[in-house]
Structure 1
Amino acid sequence: MNIYEKFKNEISIDNIYKDMSFLVDNVGERLSGTGEMEKATKYICDRLIENTGVGRIDHFPMYMSYPGEASLELIAPCKERIAARPVCHIDSTPESGLEGEVVYLGSGGYEDYAGIDAKDKIILTDMSWSPARPEKARIACEMGAKALIIMNWGASDSDLIQMGAVKTQWGNPTPYNEKEIIHLTVISISRKDGEWLEKMCSETKVVVNIKAAATREWITASQPVGRVKSNADNDEYVLVGSHVDAWGKSAICNASGDALNLELARVCNKYKAELQRDVEFVFWDGHEIAEGGGSTWYADNYWADMSNNCVAYINIDNLAIEGTTVPGVEGQPELKEMLTAAIEKIFGTKGVWHQAYKGGGDSSFFGVGVPYNSFATEYTDEKLIELNHAFYSPWLHTPDDTIDKIDKALMKKHAQYVTYILDQLANSKIIPYNLKDLGDDIKKQWMWVTDKAGRAKNLLSALDEIVEEYRTKMSELENMKSKDIDPALLNKLSLLCERETAMFRCWSGKYGQDGCGSLQTEKAIPALDYALEKYNDAEVYSHEYYLWETQVLRIRNMVFDELNTSINFINLMVG
């Protein structure tokens, strides 16, 4: 029996439900820095020690926000009070509130503002995954809006109000990005009330008064962690994470993920003598309101270990939602072959592939160059339309996120899938990256960027040759797997090349953290894409033109260095 079969047979759904039930029913909502969070993290650490013999809680400062109260009063064309909740990391209103005309702007993306004078208006938007909540707020602030109202997704008759935050800074702010903190009042309302308000806006002028309060403060975070040590002497490890802090009753988001994470730790510990790599289990604090606060702190504080040894990150969140039927996985291109093959093995269907972009799922490790993956079943397109694109369920971040919203049979399938991926990453003799796919993706991104280069095309053409050389080298490296080469050497080389991919995955570069839900991160070579747009928009030979020309050149050189470094590694090690 191979180790995956041992893992699969050992996984206990009863154990998963035991831990999930404690977090949902005995703790419930657990915001970072609260007594409920302390109770949850102590329980998880105790269970880690029980399951593996090891466990600790890391404590560290984290920038947090707590919601106060909110109100929304319709002033014209009639008097009406609408239930509302404040979003976190907002500017609180004065006691008298903020008064203004409401304008409905769909998802709240840039395209929705076309031809609209949003200055001093109160913007009403739908909750949607793109742009994400923080990005909606950033855009509204940039457009001069007075305030933002976000109506929940879900069925049109739903009175649930989704909680959340609009902090665009990923993790703790720095002296350089603190000035980018959004200064805007944002509140949430139900889908039912939102559609009523939207309809009224289409018929007449609507004026409202908003009152909302939320804090901004530093707290001490609590983050359980434990590593199951293998018998291998290579120091390599797989990182597995799930967030503990949560809104509402938290079954879907994310007691289900924490419970599976604990069970995986127990199973790995039982078979640790057969593991080829260590497995580190972390239970993130600060995922929700601090926007990746815990996972960013982990990257900053354990950078050397991650850079030298971390093979991949498995994110566990939003599992087995009742009514979802489509297996979906997101990740980086070099993991696609393995991740999609696993769907066919476990579910007997092709499933859906999503390219992972920085901005959700504790994706704090793109800069260091650790490949990311996250799996969950999804709604059909038809069901999403019915639920107004409630991708992570209509119950997300509400008191209705209860255990009955978890499909038990589907939970078993999720456990099998994540177990299979963990086995592949922890026990394959050669790390299961497809390096040819990585090279092809780099070439594709380069082609997308050069196609829109405009007047900068000549500035970029010097890299055409090295991009093609990189692609060829990655293909050659992939082919070496079938040849007589030391697996340890090939693995080290693969990790070194992975660490040189930040420019193709981040806007903020290797050591920064892109903003939460930033649309720019979805672009090919995000920093270069942005600079090219500014350069091409500038008046020729103007001051701005020369500033952005310089920036294009410098980012081009960063791209060159990453590609050239990987090529040199390959040439030095294998010729």
Structure 2
Amino acid sequence: MAVARTAPSFEEKLRSAVSARRLQVHLKKFSTLHRETGGPDERAAVDYIAETLRADGIDVQVHEFSGFVSLPREASLNVVGLEPTSIPCRPRSFGANTPPGGLEGELVFVGSLEEDRSKMIFARTGEESDYEGKDVRGKIVLGTAGGPDGVKRAHDHGAIAYIHMWPSGEDAIHEMIVTSIWGTPTPESISRLPKIPALSIKKSDGERLRRLMALGQVRVRIDAEAETGWRTLPLAVADIPGQDPEFLLVGAHIDSWYEGVTDNATGDACLIEMARVLKKQQKKLRRGVRFAWWPGHSHGRYAGSTWYADAAFDELRRRALGYLNIDSPGVRETAIFDCRYNMGEVEELMKRTVSEVTGRSPNIRRPFKAGDQSFWGIGLPSFGAFRMLPLDHKDRATVGGSGAGWWWHTPADSLDKADAGILAQDTALYLTITARVVTPAVLPFNFVPAARDFTSLLSELERAARGSFPLSDLVVRADELGTLAARLEGVRSELEAATAGRKPRGKDAVRIARLNRGLMALSRILNPVLYTVEGPYDHDPALQAPMLPGLQTARKLATLNPQSDEYGFLRARLVRERNRAADALANAAEHIELMLTQVGPAARG
């Protein structure tokens, strides 16, 4: 007897429609373009995206805006003295230019040589304690924390330049950006533009310099030039509208270092293919999907996504369901998942989806300050799933993308580093995540983990403050929020089960509409406090900070003299931040109580 075949589900149709062949065509095109932001190849890439999508009947807009960007040009590093030596190097985006004739100074090593390939390069921020007992005033720092945090710290201690010795040992020099200004500067933030030059060198050359330093004082002369200023940047945005006006924002940066195949041509191709597949299934979409290809990521500190967060603020605040960032998928031989950039309310969704689709165990992590995460202040939930090389893989290095491949931000990031088959699998995963946000009647946001985040963070800060700044009442409020969030999740999951596979009608439809609006509003209440200091209308610096960043200086208060001005000033700041957190917790609790009153238990029928 023939066995009846079960019709494929909507998600299965999406996944099976992904074409590795089409993805490879896009990758080949992008691999011919060095997509320097504001340059002709970036424009050619945007035109290709727009033409490809329009051929599939997809509406595309190409916005143009002026972005403040920095393009590294030339650099040199020479040891001066009896045995002059030249060291290969590259300048950093937004590093200061050296004066004519260069800059000369004594070299001082600061920081740690310890390598941890399980962490990204952004995690190497250095510590204030690295400078204890070291006088770097008027000198050039050699160190392994050469991002915006480390360069700023070196400048604050009086250094005249920073040479970043890469922590892992690949035979490659990595490009990077050192400004802490997120997006285009404002009058208030422009003073944070780096005031000292910064160079990249290989680990082996850093070790070579350290060997010379062990023999005595070493002086070096550096030259560094970056072309910094305004450029017109193109930003492509494609819409697949759903039945309702809400939409999920999905983004990938279009600019690159060199041809940047795995950072981020693979992500750009992924978005094109996602849009094509979803367009064919558009009638099934309850909510829409909006795709954006960000310029100014690598050379403008996320200038494109920041501009869009500002320019489309009202629509994003009221209609966007969240932000899914896609960066460096489809890398050859990647096999494990690092699910960073996930906020608490999407934790359960991401755990379940990554596990079900890939068969892999997801490592769910909260967001850190990188990767076009320009929407925290608006309050959008952030999603992320990144396939990585195994920790013991021969190509794994301490980098910031490309699946942790050593070729990240180098000329070696070429077509051979991508795998269209793996990219198709990653695209299928992202389509499933998208479908689980935009097609169910009930939004899949569970705020119990977010409430737990508040409780654990406030409890830890209470202990760290050692009585200098009590937070126990906020811990109680966070616990109460957790209890309310659990009740809300009970109602949400009950309504989700009651309406699975059918269109909600009558009272269920009204309740679900109220619930979904309430869930979106909760993210706007909690996330700006949990992840930012500046809040909805500005952007925090690109400096790594723990969650609840506004209250983190409570740790420092305990170390200060209560009679000092510094103590008084810091305490005043902390009181204001405490009020902000308390207000968010109270507003969220009141909001959930109102939702529970309005929504009530699910109606069966």
TM-score normalised by the shorter chain: which range applies?
A: over 0.9
Query: Greater shift after overlay, 338-347 or 461-470?
Result: 461-470
SS at match of 2:384: strand
How much has 1:217 moved relative to structure 2? 0.8
Question: Could you tell me which residue of structure 1 aligns to residue 29 of structure 2?
Answer: 22
1:161 to 173, 192, 195: 173
1:448 aligns with 2:460: yes
1:115 aligns with 2:137: no
List per-residue Cα deviations over 1:446-471 (Å, max 9, x = no partner). 2122122234344x344343222211
How much has 1:537 moved relative to structure 2? 3.4
Question: Could you tell me which residue of structure 1 aligns to residue 151 of structure 2?
Answer: 137
CA contact (8 A) 2:125 2:146 kept: no
Aligned sequence identity (%):
27
How much has 1:14 moved relative to structure 2? 1.1
1:348 aligns with 2:359: yes
1:26-425 matches, within 5 Å, as 27=33, 29-76=34-81, 78-105=83-110, 106=112, 109-110=126-127, 111-126=129-144, 133-152=147-166, 154-156=168-170, 158=171, 160-230=172-242, 232-233=243-244, 235-330=245-340, 331-357=342-368, 359-383=369-393, 387=397, 392-425=404-437
CA contact (8 A) 1:150 1:186 kept: yes
Query: Greater shift after overlay, 304-313 or 563-572?
Result: 563-572
List per-residue Cα deviations over 1:327-350 (Å, max 9, x = no partner). 221111221222122222222231
Query: Greater shift after overlay, 546-555 or 187-196?
Result: 187-196
1:5 to 6, 9, 12: 12
Which residue type is aligned with residue 151 of structure 1? M
How much has 1:174 moved relative to structure 2? 1.2
2:586 to 548, 554, 564: 564
Question: Could you tell me which residue of structure 2 aligns to residue 438 of structure 1?
Answer: 450
CA contact (8 A) 1:446 1:524 kept: no
- Normalised by the size of structure 2, how large is the TM-score? 0.88
1:545 aligns with 2:567: yes
CA distance in 2, matches of 1:132, 1:75: 23
CA distance in 2, matches of 1:227, 1:385: 37
Question: Could you tell me which residue of structure 2 aligns to residue 528 of structure 1?
Answer: 551
Q: 1:450 to 1:94 in 2, by over 3 A?
A: same
CA contact (8 A) 1:327 1:351 kept: yes
Give the superposed CA RMSD. Answer: 2.0
The gaps in structure 1 that reach 5 residues or longer are none
CA distance in 2, matches of 1:77, 1:337: 62
CA contact (8 A) 2:23 2:424 kept: no
CA distance in 2, matches of 1:69, 1:471: 54
CA distance in 2, matches of 1:382, 1:5: 33
Question: Could you tell me which residue of structure 1 aligns to residue 490 of structure 2?
Answer: 479
Which residue type is aligned with residue 550 of structure 2? A
Which residue type is aligned with residue 539 of structure 2? Q
Question: Could you tell me which residue of structure 1 aligns to residue 603 of structure 2?
Answer: none
- Normalised by the size of structure 1, how large is the TM-score? 0.93
Q: 1:534 to 1:457 in 2, by over 3 A?
A: closer
How much has 1:90 moved relative to structure 2? 1.6
How much has 1:16 moved relative to structure 2? 1.1
SS at match of 1:287: coil
CA distance in 2, matches of 1:325, 1:246: 24
CA distance in 2, matches of 1:77, 1:514: 47
CA distance in 2, matches of 1:437, 1:346: 22
How much has 1:89 moved relative to structure 2? 0.8
Which residue type is aligned with residue 174 of structure 1? T
- The size of the alignment, in residue pairs, is 559
CA distance in 1, matches of 2:348, 2:85: 55
CA contact (8 A) 1:52 1:265 kept: no
Which residue type is aligned with residue 153 of structure 2? I
CA contact (8 A) 2:241 2:288 kept: yes
CA distance in 2, matches of 1:124, 1:320: 35
How much has 1:573 moved relative to structure 2? 3.2
Query: Greater shift after overlay, 14-23 or 99-108?
Result: 99-108
CA contact (8 A) 2:31 2:265 kept: yes
Q: 1:205 to 1:262 in 2, by over 3 A?
A: same
Q: 1:114 to 1:543 in 2, by over 3 A?
A: closer
CA distance in 1, matches of 2:477, 2:364: 29
Which residue type is aligned with residue 151 of structure 2? A
